[in-house]
Amino acid sequence: MKKPLVGILMGSDSDYEVMVQAAEALRSFEVEFEMIVTSAHRSPERTAEYAGTAAERGIRVLIVGAGAAAHLAGVVASETTLPIIGVPIDSSCLKGMDALLATVQMPAGIPVATMAIGKAGARNAGLFAVQILAGSDERLAQAMRQSRQTMAEGVAEKSDRLQQRLIADGLM
């Protein structure tokens, strides 16, 4: 088994449904990852320990998802100089706006690379980790370029299928 290059952290196991999108994106590029639950507030030592030792264990990028007063990505960022990607999660009644602001509005000095709220953001976190790794891995760089082309073709196919729907609805 190969050593993971990416760590995926989440503040609560209820964030799994969202954060699994990051895992799937990494898996589709055959990038090894590990995934753990740790909380900025409920398990601060565990969080500091994990973040502080990630680099020496070979981790290259950390993806961190959290909701509400989402401090986890910032706290992890304070313990390591690895690139941190933050995913705000919509888990309070404020629809993720709290998590977005708590993740993105980091003070000068400690960046958190913030993605969109929720599943789209988690998937993009996985892709962005691949883009970072691709800087020194030509296989990944090429796979990413290929993936973009596939995406563009998928759009054209969806557009073609839309014509059938217009006909079915009597609009063409």
> Among residues 3 and 16, whose Cβ is nearest to its own copies?
16
Indicate the helix (H) or strand (E) that contains 10: strand 6-10
Residue 44 or 57 having the CB closest to its own copies:
44
Positions 36 through 65 that interact with its own copies (CB under 8 A): 36-46, 48, 60-61
Interface size with its own copies, residues (CB under 8 A)? 95
Distance CA 125, CA 121 (A): 6
Please tell me whether residue 108 binds its own copies under the rule CB under 8 A: yes
**Contacting residue, 6, 31, 64, 133, with its own copies by CB under 8 A:** 133
Cite the beta strand spans of 80-163 per DSSP E.
Answer: 84-89, 113-114
By CB under 8 A, what part of segment 80-99 binds its own copies? 81-83, 85, 90, 92-98
Q: Using the rule CB under 8 A, is 131 a contact of its own copies?
A: yes
State yes or no: residue 105 binds its own copies (CB under 8 A). Answer: yes
Query: What track of x and - describes contact with its own copies for positions 147 through 166 (by CB under 8 A)?
Result: -x--xx-xxx-xx-xxx-xx
CA 133-110-51 angle, 5° bins: 60
CA pair distance 14, 98, nearest whole angstrom: 17
144 binds its own copies (CB under 8 A): yes
Q: Which helix (H) or strand (E) holds 65?
A: strand 61-67
Sign of the CA dihedral with 39 first, then 43, 44, and 45 last: negative
